[in-house]
Structures are given as C-alpha cells and as structure tokens.
Amino acid sequence: MPRIKPRSPEHAPELAEMLAKFEEQSGYISNAALTLAWRPDIAQALGTLVNTIYAPGAIDPGLKRLIGEATSKAAGCSYCAAHTAHSAHKAGVSKEKIEAVWNYQESPLFTDAERSAIHVAMRAGMTPNAVTDEDFEVLKTHYNEKAVVEIVAVIAMFGFLNRWNSTIATELESVPASFVDAISTGT
C-alpha cells in the first residue's frame, strides 16, 4: 500500500498536459506522477528533466531505458525496474534482452559498449556507489564525453526516482506489471 495516496488527475489540472502526454506514450498514467502531483511544481520540474534526459542524443533510447533498469535493479526499486523494462520494450528492445540485463556480462545480446554502460549503471545504483575509475575508463573507450554525460544523467535521474518510489511505496500500475509478468513467465 502506498504511503502517500496518488492524487486523481482531475485534482491536478495544471498537470493535465503532462499526464496526457505520459498516458499517450505509455498507455497509462504513472502513480509516481500522481503522487508528485501533490506538488505540481516538483512534478513539472521532474517532467522537464525526464523529457530532456530521454530526448534524442548520443545514446540510443532503448539503451537509456536499459541503463535505468540496471540502476533500478541494483537499487532494489522494482517499481522503476518494471517501468524501464516496459519502456525499453516500447523503444524497440527485445524481451530477451530486457530479461538478460542481470546477466549483461555473459549475455551475447549485449555489445561491449552496452556492457560498459550497464556495468556503470549497476555499480552506480548500489549504496554506496561502487563505480571505480577503471569502470569509467572502460566506459570512455566506447563513448565520448557527451554520451557519458547522458549515461550518468540517466543514472542520476533514477537515483531520485528509485528513492522516491521505494520510499513512497508507489503501487505498480497494471500495464508495466503485466509486461514484467509476461517476461518472467515467458509469454
């Protein structure tokens, strides 16, 4: 049970456009956004940050979602891990690759570049942060500074989201829950 009840969308008219866009892209309205709706200014600021980080850039949109999934899994946030798995699939990542994120080091589904990004994401999601200089040197053999900044921006964004949703005990919506169930059962 969530520790703070999400607001209903009709009680947050200033967020109507943002919530409609999220629903159009994802197929549902996020309970995290509805909980943040108690402070519309924070919800809007976070929405701007998320849209900026997920905007086209140096990193593939699907990989950005896998980085978010890896960070969330390492942090133990099942809510965010489910959201990023679902959004990775919507961005064109196969179910098999999403399922293999925990085994990124051994899986043939990942390139060395992807492995380096997911490795940094996993280690950054830990508390305390376990990223080493060596991890960064490997990452920088595959990505330039602009791309590395994007990777770290995704990780940092999920640092906030993981803490928010784990602390609030945000209830997972049926769309990402069904997707994760389908992956785990192989359907």
Give yes or no: residues 101 and 177 share one domain: yes
pTM: 0.95
Any domain includes 1: no
Give yes or no: residues 83 and 38 share one domain: no
Give yes or no: residues 64 and 41 share one domain: no
Any domain includes 24: yes
- Confidence band of 186 (pLDDT split at 50, 70, 90): confident
d(CA 186, CA 183): 5
Name the 3-class secondary structure at 20.
helix
Report the number of distinct structural domains present in the chain. 2
Give yes or no: residues 46 and 122 share one domain: no
Axis crossing angle, helix 40-54 with helix 145-168, rounded to the nearest 10: 150
Nearest by Cα to 104 from 132, 135, 66, 65: 66
Give yes or no: residues 179 and 95 share one domain: yes
Average confidence score pLDDT of the chain: 96
d(CA 185, CA 180): 9
Give whole-number Cα distances, 16 to 19, 21, 43, in Å: 5, 9, 11
Give yes or no: residues 32 and 123 share one domain: no
How confident is the model at residue 185, as a pLDDT? 80
Q: Which domain holds residue 23?
A: 8-55
